[in-house]
Amino acid sequence: MNHITLLDGGMGQELLRRSSRKTTSLWSADIMLNEPMIVRDLHLDFIESGARVITLNTYTATPQRLARENELAQLETLHRSAMEAALDAIELSERTDVAIAGCLPPLVASYRPDVSLPYEASLDAYRRLVELQSPVSDIFLCETMASINEARAACTAAMESGKPVWVALTISDFHPGLLRSGERLDEALPVLASLGAEAILLNCSHPEAINGCLPQLRGIGKKMGAYANGFVSVGPLQPGGTVEQLEVRQDLSPAQYAEYAMGWVREGASIIGGCCEIGPAHIKVLHERLCQEGFL
């Protein structure tokens, strides 16, 4: 039976729920600067719910996003704070089996490969993020990659660390088999496999879209995985906008989400978790299901 690695869920949306601050376009990075204890406590909640990999809360802490908000000077501070929050949460959990994933996100905006940087500029930026996050990262997770160019740059930079690299692609919710760039998933997979990624995942898309595309990952000879979001649509989100623009689905309870995720396990996924709007309660139920069915 396949051993399953359980990831955490989405940090940003849950942090906004717990925060007393007004939502900004820097999203989780704003909370990281001003309310780091909330970040630590959410990491801990995910660990106590069963997650054994937690991802650094640096998704919006890229040079490009910070520069857009005149906050580039906070880049190193944000990363130090994020690493401390993750380490403190693991220490508080008193567990020795929790890994930290460094986070290599879209540099400019989620779901919008049309505004992404050229390859060489992306590679330079990702190398800087790898350098900042390497002190605590056991794995590098290139996540919500919407184009081959973006994924290739992030994966290349991460591979230079010598640590395991997982690449998570975000796919179209409404056009089966395509990345959000319009490129074909089956064209992206061999590129990433050739770069040496240890695992390839699908993330931050409808669970139904992941259901349709996950079988394509089977033939590449890599670990495969998935973690979906709980948005109705990501279409309304514009670069520099806030996630308040996005509507949350009402049909993804923890039990319903776990049903999707267990389907991915049966398809061969060995790394599962949740993305935006998938919180500790979802991960807890998923952990229980994995234990009941002998995967953990």
- Tens of pLDDT along the chain (296 residues)? 679 999 999 999 899 999 988 877 787 889 999 999 999 999 999 999 999 999 999 999 999 999 999 999 999 999 999 999 999 999 999 999 999 999 999 999 999 999 999 999 999 999 999 999 999 999 999 999 999 999 999 999 999 999 999 999 999 999 999 999 999 999 999 999 999 999 999 999 999 999 999 999 999 999 999 999 987 756 545 555 545 556 788 999 999 999 999 999 999 999 999 999 999 999 999 999 999 999 99
Specify the pLDDT at position 221. Answer: 94
| Coil, helix or strand at residue 84 | helix
Q: Which residues are annotated as a binding site for Zn(2+)?
A: 204, 275-276
Per-residue pLDDT reduced to its tens digit, 95-104: 999 999 999 9
How high is the pLDDT of residue 232?
76
Range of the domain at 276: 5-292
- What's the Cα-to-Cα distance from 255 to each of 12, 78, 86, 260, 261, rounded to whole Å? 21, 34, 27, 9, 10
pLDDT at residue 82, as a whole number? 98
Global pTM?
A: 0.95
75 contacts: CB under 8 Å, gap ≥ 6: 61, 63, 66, 132
Compute how many other C-beta atoms are within 10 angstroms of the C-beta atom of residue 186.
Answer: 14
pLDDT at residue 22, rounded to an integer: 84
The answer to whether 109 and 239 are in contact (CB under 8 A) is: yes
Strand order in the sheet with 53-55: 5-6, 271-272, 223-227, 199-203, 165-169, 139-145, 99-104, 53-55
Instruction: For residue 223, report the phi and psi dihedrals to the nearest 5 degrees.
Output: -60, 150
Domain count, the chain: 1
DSSP 8-class letter at 204: S
Q: What is the pLDDT of residue 290?
A: 98
Per-residue pLDDT, 246: 62
- Known binding-site positions: 204, 275-276
Query: The CATH number of the domain where 260 resides is what?
Result: 3.20.20.330
pLDDT digits (tens, 9 = 90+) for 219-253: 999 999 999 998 775 654 555 554 555 678 899 99
How far CA 195 is from CA of 45, 105, 151, 261, 269, in Å, comes to 34, 18, 10, 27, 20
